[in-house]
C-alpha cells in the first residue's frame, strides 16, 4: 500500500458532497490500493451537519479511509493536500444562468486560491465544480501563483457525459460504445457540445457519430440545445441542481487525470488556454479535448479540423468567458 493521498472536498456538507465522498473514500477514483485522508471543508454553520457526514463515513468501515478531518478553516482544509475538489459554492435556482452566481461565489475562490498557495502541496491537482466553474477556476489559479497553472481545471465532464448519453440513446447502444465527444468552452448555455469527431462502436466496428446518426439538423440544433440546457432542465424538475450525475462526473474527471486517458481517446476538461492550438485567448479556463498521460500531465488534442459552424460556436463561448473574467477580477478587487 502506498502513502495516503490527502484529498480535500469543499462544500462537503452539501448535496454533491454527499454523493461524492463515498466513491472517493471507497477507491473508485484513485484506485483500490490507494489509502485516502479526507479533508472536509465547509462553512462554520454547517459544521454540525458535517459531523453527521463524518459519522457516516466512519460507519461505512472503508478499508482505504485512514483519516477524516472536518473543518471550516481553509488553512487546515488545504494543508498539504494532493488533490482539491472545490465544490463549495451557492448553486443556481430556476431562471438563473450560472454566471449570475459570480457575485455570490467569486470571493470564495479568491480566498481558497490564497490558502492553496500558502499550504497545499505544490503538485496539488485542483478541479473546480462550484459555478460558474471555469471562471472560478481562473480566479483560484490567479490567487495561487506558486502552483503550476495547468494544475487548475474545471469540470465539464458532466456535459461530456450528457452528450455521450444523448448520442447513445439516439443510436440505441450502451453508453460505453460512444467516445470522444467534445465540450468546447464554458460550462454554461454557450458551451459547444461537438460530436463531429466522436466515434460509436456498433457490432465491433468504429463509425463516426455523424455517419451513424445520419441527421445533421438534429446534431446541429436539438442535440446541442439539450446538452447546453440540461442543467437547467434538472433544476426545473428537481428544484435542486444536479448532484448524483455531478458527483459521478467529478469521479470520471479525477480518475482520468490521475490514471490517464485510454489509447488515443480524449476527454473534455476545462484547462488554462495558452492561445494554442485553436486560437482561444490565452489564460481563459476553457474546455478542450485533452489526452492525459499516466504521470498526470495532459495535452490539448491538436489538429482537429474546425469548420465555420464550429468556429463561430467556439468563439461565442470564449467571448462569454472573457466577459465573466472581467467581471470576476473586478469583483475580487472591489
Ligand atoms: P449545496 O448548496 O448543496 O452545497 C454547497 C455547500 O457549499 C454547502 O454545504 C455550503 O455550506 C458550502 N459552502 C458555501 N461556501 C463555502 C465556503 N466558502 N467554503 C466551503 N464550503 C462552502 O450545493 P451543491 O448542489 O452541492 O452544488 C455546489 C456547487 O456546484 C454549485 O455552485 C453548483 O452550481 C455547482 N455544480 C457544478 C456542476 C458542474 O458540472 N460544474 C454540476 C453541478 C453543480
Ligand atoms: C449542472 O450543469 O447541472 C450544474 O452546473 C448545475 C446548474 O446550475 O446547471
Distance 108 CA to ligand 2 centre (A): 18
Active-site residue flag, 187: yes
Q: Is 150 in a helix, a strand, or coil?
A: helix
Q: Any idea which fold 5-154 has?
A: Rossmann fold (3.40.50)
pLDDT tens digits, 232-257: 999 999 999 999 999 999 999 999 99
Residue 1 has pLDDT above 80, yes or no: no
**249 in contact with ligand 2, CB cutoff 6 A:** no
> Is the CB of 77 within 6 Å of ligand 1?
no
**Ligand nearest, relative to CA of residue 131:** 1
**CA of 16, nearest ligand number:** 1
Taking only the tens place, the pLDDT of each residue in 113-145 is: 999 999 999 999 999 999 999 999 999 999 999
Give the domain ranges of the chain.
5-154, 157-324
- 10 pocket-lining for ligand 1 (C-beta < 6 Å): yes
Residue 151, all three cell numbers: 494544475
Decide whether any atom of ligand 1 lies within 6 Å of the 70 Cβ. no
Ligand 1 site, residue 50, Cβ cutoff 6 A: no
Answering whether pTM is above 0.95, one says yes
Q: What is the mean predicted confidence (pLDDT) over 174-187?
A: 97
- For the record, the C-alpha cell of 86 comes out as 472545490
Q: Are 192 and 183 in contact (CB under 8 A)?
A: yes
* Neighbouring C-alpha atoms within 13 Å toward the C-beta of 277: 10
Distance, first Cα to last Cα, the chain: 48
157-324 is classed CATH 3.90.110.10: yes
Q: What is the pLDDT of residues 101-115, one digit of tens each?
A: 898 899 999 999 999
Q: How far apart are CA 41 and CA 64, in angstroms?
A: 20
Candidate from 241, 243, 324 with most ligand 1 atoms within 8 A of CB, to mutate: 241
Residues 6+ apart with CB under 8 A from 279: none
Q: How many CB atoms lie within 10 A of CB 165?
A: 17
Beta bridge partners of 8: 39, 84
Amino acid at each position: 500500500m502506498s502513502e495516503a493521498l490527502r484529498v480535500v472536498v469543499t462544500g462537503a456538507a452539501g448535496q454533491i458532497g454527499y454523493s461524492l465522498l463515498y466513491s472517493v473514500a471507497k477507491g473508485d477514483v484513485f484506485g483500490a490500493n490507494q489509502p485516502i485522508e479526507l479533508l472536509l471543508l465547509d462553512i462554520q454553520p454547517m459544521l454540525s451537519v458535517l459531523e453527521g457526514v463524518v459519522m457516516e463515513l466512519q460507519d461505512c468501515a472503508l478499508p482505504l479511509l485512514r483519516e477524516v478531518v472536518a473543518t471550516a478553516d481553509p488553512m487546515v482544509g488545504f494543508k498539504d493536500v494532493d488533490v482539491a475538489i472545490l465544490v463549495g459554492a451557492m448553486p443556481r435556482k430556476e431562471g438563473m444562468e450560472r454566471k449570475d452566481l459570480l457575485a455570490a461565489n467569486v470571493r470564495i475562490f479568491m480566498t481558497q486560491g490564497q490558502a492553496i498557495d500558502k499550504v497545499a502541496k505544490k503538485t496539488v491537482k485542483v478541479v473546480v465544480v462550484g459555478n460558474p466553474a471555469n471562471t472560478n477556476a481562473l480566479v483560484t489559479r490567479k490567487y495561487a501563483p506558486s502552483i503550476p497553472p495547468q494544475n487548475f481545471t474545471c469540470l465539464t465532464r458532466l456535459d461530456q457525459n450528457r452528450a455521450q448519453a444523448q448520442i447513445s440513446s439516439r443510436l440505441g447502444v450502451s453508453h460505453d460504445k460512444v467516445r470522444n465527444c467534445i465540450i468546447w468552452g464554458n460550462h454554461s448555455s454557450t458551451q459547444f457540445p461537438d460530436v463531429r469527431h466522436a466515434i460509436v462502436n456498433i457490432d465491433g466496428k468504429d463509425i463516426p457519430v455523424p455517419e451513424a446518426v445520419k441527421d445533421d439538423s438534429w446534431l446541429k440544433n436539438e442535440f446541442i440545445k439539450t446538452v447546453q440546457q440540461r442543467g437547467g432542465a434538472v433544476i426545473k424538475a428537481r428544484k435542486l441542481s444536479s448532484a448524483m450525475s455531478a458527483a459521478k462526473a467529478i469521479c470520471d474527471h479525477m480518475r482520468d487525470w490521475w490514471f490517464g486517458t485510454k489509447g488515443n481517446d480524449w476527454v473534455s476538461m476545462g484547462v488554462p488556454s495558452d492561445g494554442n492550438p485553436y486560437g482561444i485567448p490565452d489564460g481563459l479556463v476553457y474546455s478542450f479535448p485533452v489526452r492525459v498521460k499516466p504521470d498526470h500531465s495532459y495535452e490539448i488534442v491538436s489538429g482537429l479540423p474546425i469548420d465555420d459552424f464550429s468556429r463561430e460556436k467556439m468563439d461565442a463561448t470564449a467571448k462569454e468567458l472573457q466577459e465573466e473574467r472581467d467581471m470576476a477580477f473586478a469583483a475580487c478587487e472591489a
